Structures are given as C-alpha cells and as structure tokens.
Amino acid sequence: MSDLDEEYQLDYFHEEGFERKECPSCGAHFWTRDSERDICGEPPCADYDFIGDPGFDTEYSLEEMREAFLSFFEDHDHERIEPYPVAANRWRDDVLLTQASIYDFQPLVTSGETPPPANPLTISQPCIRMQDIDNVGKTGRHTMAFEMMAHHAFNAREDIDDPDQYAYEGEVYWKSETVAYCDQLLDELGADIEDVTYIEDPWVGGGNAGPAIEVIYRGLELATLVFMCMEQDPDGDYELKDGNRYSYMDTYVVDTGYGLERWTWMSQGTPTVYEAVYPEMISFLKDNAGLDYSDREESLVNRAARLSGKLDIDDVDDVEAARDDIADELGVETDELRALVEPLEDIYAIADHCRTLAYMLGDGIVPSNVGTGYLARMVLRRTKRLADGVGVDAPLDELVDMQAERLDYENRDTVRDIVRTEVEKYRETLERGRRHVERLAEEYAQKGDPIPLDEVIELYDSRGIQPETVEEIAADHGADVEIPDDFYSLVAERHGEADADADDGTLAGDDDRIADLPETEKLYYEEPERTDFEAVVLDVIERDADGETVYDVALDQTMFYPEGGGQPADTGTLSTDDVAAEVTDVQETNGVVLHRTDEAPGKGEFVRGQIDGVRRRRLMQHHTATHIVGHAARQVLGDHVRQAGAQKGVESARFDIRHYERISREEVKRIERVANNIVTDNLPVKQEWPKRNEAEADYGFDIYQGGIPPGETLRLIQVGEDVQACAGTHVLQTGDIGTIKILSTERVQDGVERLVFAAGDAAIEATQRTEDALYDTAEVLDVSPQEVPATAERFFEEWKDRGKRIEELKEQLAEARAHGGDGGEEVDLGGTTAVVQRVDGDMDDLRATANALVEDGTVAVLGSGDDSATFVVAVPDNVDINAGAVVGELADRVGGGGGGPPDFAQGGGPDVDSLDEALDAAPEILRSMLEA
C-alpha cells in the first residue's frame, strides 16, 4: 500500500457499498459499485464506450452544460464567481497561463494569507494547457483550451494554537462530501452510476500534494477531485511519487476539476469531443478543406474514434506504433487509416488552436518572443502550418474570429489585426529561416549524422521554423531528422513558467539586526508634498562600499521614499545638532526603510529629515504621468495594451507597453492629447486601501499594471477612470503635473513598445531642447524654422541625385580604365586574359573597374595604395581560378589578409610600399593556380 492509502478509505465509499480493486492492466487502485468489474475503465485499459450511445439522458450544448453544473452547486450553497483571465500572470508572478481553476486562488488564498472571494464557491474557468498541444486532435478528448468547471472549499484545522493566523477557519467540507457531490451530479444528469469508477491517483504540484481521485465513466475521465492537504517538507513523514517528502498543512483545500467539454461530449456521444464543442467550425473546416467521406470511410473513421484514446503520448512510447495496433484491430491497412484520420486530426487541432488564440488574444496577450507572448505566437504559427497543410484556405484571422465571436469578446477587431500582423511576420520569418535550415541540412548530410533534436527545437525557438519544414528540407538535402510526438510540448516547457524575481531591492541584505527592528512608519503616503520631518534613530549599521565607509540608518518614521516600482529613491539630508548627513539612497527590506548616508547620526537621537523637494516633485509628476500615459495608450491603441515595464526619472520617464505593431506619429499625438486632457481636467488623484478581493472584484486584474504586490490589503491609486495598485508617490491633482510631452517611441523587443516622455518643468525643458535644435538647424540652412522640413527634403534629394551622378561618372571612369590601355598589364592565361593594374582609388573604384573587366570575360587583379594596400580580384564564371585564394596570396605580401568567394574577393594590408611588388607577382600566382 502507498503512503496515502488510508486517505482513500472514505466513509462515503463504505456507506454506498463501493469495493476497492486493483486494475490488472495498469495496476491502479479504484473504487466501484460493480462487484463484477475488473478494469479501471480509463484508456488505454478501456475504450470510449459512449460514442453513438450518449452517457447522459439529455444532450447538452457547452452553454447548457456549464449552467447545469453551476446551478447544481449554487443549489448546494456554493457561490458562483466570475472566471479569471487565461493569462495567470495578470495576478500571479510565478506562472504564465491559467491551467486549472485553483490557479485563481494560489498562492495567497490556498496558503490562508487572504480569504477567498466566497467559501465554498463554484466557477467555470477557461484554461490553457500547452503540454497537451501534441495530443490535440489525436486522442479525441484532448483540448488545449478548455473550461474547468469546479467547486472549491477552503478549510483550516480547528486544533491549531492560533486559528486567527489564517484568513479562514474551520472545515466547510472535505473528501466524502466532495465525492458525494460528484455522484449526485452524475445521477441527476442520468448517468449509470454503477458504471462510474473512482481511481486513486495521488497529486503533487507546486510544492503541495494530497490524495486525488479520477472520475471515469464509460472510458472517459470526466473529473479529478484533488484534496490539497500537504506541503513539501524534507523532514515530512510521506514520500510521494515525485520522490519528495511531504507533511500535512494547517490549511486543506478541496480542489476539483470537471472538464466542461468532456461532460458535453458525454451528453452527445459524437465521434470526438471536437464535434461536440465546435460543431459549426468543424463542419466549415471540413467543407473548406474538401474532406468528403463515403459511408464506408465514415464508418471506419467513427470506429477508429472509439479507439483513439490509445494515442495519448503520455501513455504510449510510439504514437504511430499505437496507430498500427488500432489499424489491426479495425482490420485495415495503417496507410489507409492514416490517410483518412490525419486530415481530420489536423482539422480538430485547427479548431482547438483557434479557440486557444481567441482566449489568449481576447484576454490581451500580445504575441512576442517571451512569456505568454511566445506561447501565443507558437500556437498561431502551428495553426497556420496545419491550415496550409490540410488545404484550409480561409484567412486565419477569420477562423480565430469565429471563436472570439462565440466567446463574446468585444475586442474582436484588435484580435483580427493581431492575427493578420503575425501571419505576415511568419511569412517573412519562413523566407529568412529556410536558407538557414538548408545550410544546416547540408552540414549534417555531409557528416552523415542526423540533425539533433536540440537544433530543431532551437530552430523553432529562435527562428519560428516548424519541425515539418525542417523534415522536408532535410529530406531534400539527404539529411535525417527525427521529430518526437511531443515536440511542441518540449518547446512549450522552455517557456512554461514565469521567472521569479530574486532581487529584494535592499541595501543591507538579510541582516539579523534589521529583522529585529519594527516596520518603519511611512509618512509620504499621507503628505506626499511635505519635505521635512522629525524621527528617532533606531539603529545605524556601518558598511564598506568600494573602500568607503557608509551607514544604513533606520528610523521610526520617514518621509524618504525608498526605491521601488520603477521610482528612484528620494535624496536629501538627516541632521542633528552635531551631524548633517547626506542621504544618497533609500531602500526597504521587510518593512524597514534604510537610509544610506555618508555620516552617522547617533542611535537613539532625534534627527531632522529634509528631502530634496524639487527632485521629489518631479518624480511625483512623472509617476502620476506614467499612469495617465498608460491609460491614454489603452484609449488610443486598445485594451490589450498593458505595462511591460516603467522607470521614472527626474528629467524624463519611460513606459514600456505590450503592443503588436509600431506606434505611428499620429497615434503618439493622439495619446498625448488624451493624456493632457486628463491633466487640464485637474482630476483628483485618489488613494484607498481596500482588501485584495474587494479591489479585484471592483476593478479587475488591470490594477496590477506595475506588478503584483503581496498582502491582503492593497494601496490603489485612482486617476479618473484608471485604477492601479501602486506604492509610489503622486501629485494630489492632475493639474499639478503641468503638461506631458512624449519625446520618442522605440521598439525595445518584439511586441513591446517604449514611450519616453517628460512631465512638468522637465517637459518644458525637453521641448525647449528640441526647439533649440530646430532653430540651430534653421540658422544653418538660412531659412525659417517652419521651412526646415521642406528645405531638408530638397537638400536630401539633391544629395541623392549628386550621389547617383558621381556613381555614373565612376562607372564611366572604370570603363575608360578597363579599355583605355592606361598601364594595366595583360596576362595570357591560355584561353582567357587577365589584367593586372594599379588603380589608386577607393573600394568603389576598384569594384567598378573589376566589374567592367569581368563583363568582357577578363580576369581582373586590381590594387590601390591610397591609405593602405588594397586588392580586388574578379573572375568570370568559366575560369578555374579562385579569387579568394589569389587575394589571400597578394594580401600576405603586404602584411595583411583577405578572401571571399571564388568569383569575387577583396583584401589588403598596411605595407603600401610592397603593393607594386605584389602586383608584379600576380601573373605567376594566376598561372600557378591554373596549373594546380
């Protein structure tokens, strides 16, 4: 028996007459009411047994099944709550995508730090599991995008010493009640509960663990009931399947997951889940791709669908070998079966991937090369590849929009724009990347080695080249490559988790003396414009900084703002009767604010703090302006715009946003107008301190633009319609900003645009610097400032025309040199002629002369000695002389080097005095190359 066997001895199982059995096929333990049952019932131990014979009394659509589930649990005293976004990094900093309903409540609720929005609760949460991408379409049941219907209860042990330490207390319900709910729901829907099995399968994940039960009905897993009650502990009493030890927690959570799509499928009994979930889209895609089956073929496809659960890459080592087994069982050749089902599998995957994209783009994820943006781009490119391969010619943006419309997203125009932009980028990527793959294939073909999987993954990761493309190109060049069934899952693993930020932003690190200090009272929130205060010195820590002695001063209260949230620290002074210490930096650790000074006030003394008021005011202006510019950018560019980073300064600030294309000059002006309208409206800048749940319920997850702060209580800053969780200092009225001027925009990475702006006096100064440059330019051009653009354009066009004329004259001069007999030596190479000539000009002169000679079928060996010795060698196509080798020989004689392809090369060296000797040796070098 396993360490958790006792956890499965539920009163409900015993009261209802269940028996515990061991599956002879897979070895799993399961509970059943059927004393005659031997098999656990889950594929590959069993087949789907409901296709063509639905397992419920009534056929449900997705919407009807969702409502039936949520209403059932509402009737059993659960509160229905609205689903969260699929981008879990909107409220968490440790993961990217929402993969289960419990993600909505981790880690703050499950740990007991904050209360849940309701207890117990029920929800139907959209989720995306990238690890399932390679199973989609094949198994008949896997969808990368799905809704996890769930009910949750958050419990805390009643025998702990301090029950108030957690945000909830006591037990709501636990294992037996959870299984009873599932049984009752199945029974109400008309399931034959005698045919339901409950498989024991302990769960581990994210440092937590607990017993879990898989609910299997007629070959399909409908739900997983997880009982999260343990945490990883090296001294724990229980060793679980991941090899780690665990111990019981004070809190314990009912974490259930009911697959909406699978419950809907069970009610309809269609060949696969995809016909039940996307009936209209599957029909459209099949018609568009020209898929048409005879009655015999349709029957064969449906029979294969009942067995498709055996194609799960998590359960079989070789999917194609498993397909061979299915073909044998159906009595057909594998090639015939593959020809029938593989196009359908692609159609199913396209429909599912389009739904995934609708969720991701609809929830504001912008495709890029990192994080959730990378995952969205990966799905989009794979979908495009599948559509092209199966012959679907409908534009991808229309296909994604079909799903976005079904999901009731209001930003469908933006979603379509993003898809169109990404498809065009993909085309450009393929054109560039194909040449790289060809070179790689040639390299490994020459070695006789297969292209390594790591190379294929890197090609996809860095260049977007699909593995199928690599296979095609490799075959054309005689190279081998093997693509595993779980290729896309392997790629997704590289980008599946968010990077934790290890920097705590402290001056002093984990100092025991700091840990013993009380938290510093922060005065700057209540009076942000005040610049002086008095405080008591609690401690002074002496430190060495690059050979100089500095001091970290802890006070009981402070007006100094510590660096954080992209806002630099305040500077100023701390003074006593005897000491005037300059404060050069301020940081916070564990609630204690540390002031870095050049002198040490005495511990226990009263100090007078004086902040640099001009600096503080400019930082406040820029911080509030950052909120306003972000809001204005969303108004102009779309609701998908979210902060990707920000830094406030004294002279200017920068604000990075997630956006899928470059920001135009017209859009910059519109953003600027919206922002300055908010300034001139002189709106109050409000702050409040609500509970986290209240803030999220009232304002959504866009409050976390600048990151996810810890704690049960948040500080919210409201500027007009914009509300954000923010710990920075702000002006009291938007009119205090004065003005906002956007100075520049740039793309800092794919999918991220940077807006650099200035506010208040800094905006005026920046504008004056720009005007000064304009006036200086006007003075140089001897025109008015308004005439500068037209004058500059005229000068530029004249300069371009002059450059073209110079090039024409150079070409004419080169022709004259090549054919005018001005000192070049002609060398008979037995079938062709070479000209060796010194042409003292720039590289353009040498190239032009060489090209003129080669056009006449002449080998050109040219040298120049203006600043250094330079050579150009050009060889006609039919002459067996390597230009790169000739240049190498010549350049070596002048103390340098060079090379190039066989038909054109250049090089040189510093020894100008040896140039003529090198050219004198050229005839012999050419003849020796021909003889070789």
Percentage of the chain exceeding pLDDT 70: 94
Task: Give the H or E element holding residue 658.
Answer: strand 653-658
Which conformational region is residue 269 in: left (phi greater than 0), alpha (psi within -120 to 50 degrees), or beta?
A: left
**Do β-strands 557-558 and 521-522 pair in parallel, antiparallel, or remain unpaired?**
parallel
* pLDDT tens digits for range 439-490: 777 777 777 788 888 777 777 766 667 777 777 777 777 777 777 766 767 7
**Residue 797 to residue 810: CA distance in whole angstroms:** 20
| 730 labeled part of a ligand binding site | yes
Structure tokens at 771: 């005007």
The three-state DSSP-derived secondary structure of 695-726 is HHHHHCHHHHCCCCCCCCECCEEEECCEEEEC
Where are the alpha helices (H) located in 189-294, listed in sequence order? 260-268, 273-277, 279-289
Asked if the model's pLDDT at residue 818 lies above 90, the reply is: no
With respect to CATH, is domain 39-269 assigned 3.30.930.10? Answer: yes
Residues shown for the chain: 932
Residue 95 DSSP label: B
* pLDDT tens digits for range 138-181: 888 889 999 999 999 999 998 888 888 898 999 999 999 999 99
**Residue 154 to residue 171: CA distance in whole angstroms:** 8
| CA 715 vs CA 342, 388, 518, 694: distances in Å | 54, 50, 21, 12
* pLDDT given for residue 228 in this prediction: 94
Q: What is the pTM of this model?
A: 0.78
Structure tokens at 344: 């359908």
Name the CATH topology of 512-611.
Answer: Elongation Factor Tu (Ef-tu); domain 3 (2.40.30)
* pLDDT given for residue 617 in this prediction: 95
Domain ranges of the chain: 39-269, 278-495, 512-611, 617-773, 824-931
* pLDDT given for residue 3 in this prediction: 65
Mean pLDDT of 389-405: 94
Give just the sign of the alpha carbon dihedral 879, 885, 888, 889.
negative
| CA 76 vs CA 115, 184, 227: distances in Å | 21, 11, 19
**Residue 40 to residue 200: CA distance in whole angstroms:** 10
* pLDDT given for residue 1 in this prediction: 37
**Do β-strands 572-575 and 220-232 pair in parallel, antiparallel, or remain unpaired?**
unpaired
Maximum Cα interatomic distance, the chain, rounded to a whole number of Å: 111
CB burial readout 466-494, b (16+ within 10 A) else e: bbebbbebbeebebebebbbbbbbbbbee
| 627 labeled part of a ligand binding site | yes
* pLDDT tens digits for range 228-276: 999 889 998 888 888 889 999 999 999 999 999 999 999 999 989 999 9
Of residues 914 and 505, more confidence is placed in 914
* pLDDT tens digits for range 103-124: 999 888 888 888 999 999 999 9
Asked if the model's pLDDT at residue 810 lies above 80, the reply is: no
Q: CATH homologous superfamily of domain 617-773?
A: Threonyl-trna Synthetase; Chain A, domain 2 (3.30.980.10)
Lowest-pLDDT choice from 674-678, 814-818, 927-931: 814-818
Asked if the model's pLDDT at residue 51 lies above 70, the reply is: yes
CATH number of 824-931: 3.10.310.40
**Residue 657 to residue 753: CA distance in whole angstroms:** 5
Lowest-pLDDT choice from 306-320, 528-542, 645-659, 753-767: 306-320
* pLDDT given for residue 813 in this prediction: 60
CB burial readout 397-426, b (16+ within 10 A) else e: bebbbbbbebeebebbebbbbbbbebbebb
Three-state secondary structure call for residue 499: coil
**Nearest CA to 298 among 328, 268, 275?**
275
* pLDDT given for residue 505 in this prediction: 38
Query: Confidence band (pLDDT; 50, 70, 90) for 501?
Result: very low
Of residues 512 and 541, more confidence is placed in 541
Q: Do domains 39-269 and 512-611 have the same CATH topology?
A: no
**Residue 877 to residue 199: CA distance in whole angstroms:** 74
**Residue 387 to residue 137: CA distance in whole angstroms:** 13
* pLDDT given for residue 806 in this prediction: 61
**Residue 837 to residue 890: CA distance in whole angstroms:** 13
**Residue 521 to residue 532: CA distance in whole angstroms:** 15
Which conformational region is residue 137 in: left (phi greater than 0), alpha (psi within -120 to 50 degrees), or beta?
A: left
Q: Does residue 86 contact residue 375 with C-beta atoms inside 8 Å?
A: no
Mean pLDDT of 730-758: 93
* pLDDT given for residue 188 in this prediction: 95
Task: Give the H or E element holding residue 645.
Answer: strand 643-648
Of residues 10 and 469, more confidence is placed in 10
Query: Confidence band (pLDDT; 50, 70, 90) for 839?
Result: confident
Average pLDDT, the chain: 88
Q: Ranked by mean pLDDT, which of 231-245, 572-586, 838-852 comes out on top?
A: 572-586
Which residue in the block uniquely carries the two structure tokens 């117990």?
120
Lowest-pLDDT choice from 68-72, 261-265, 368-372: 368-372
* pLDDT tens digits for range 710-733: 888 899 999 999 999 999 999 999
Three-state secondary structure call for residue 155: strand
- Dihedral, CA atoms, 392, 394, 395, 396, nearest 10 degrees? -50
Mean pLDDT of 867-876: 91
* pLDDT given for residue 500 in this prediction: 41
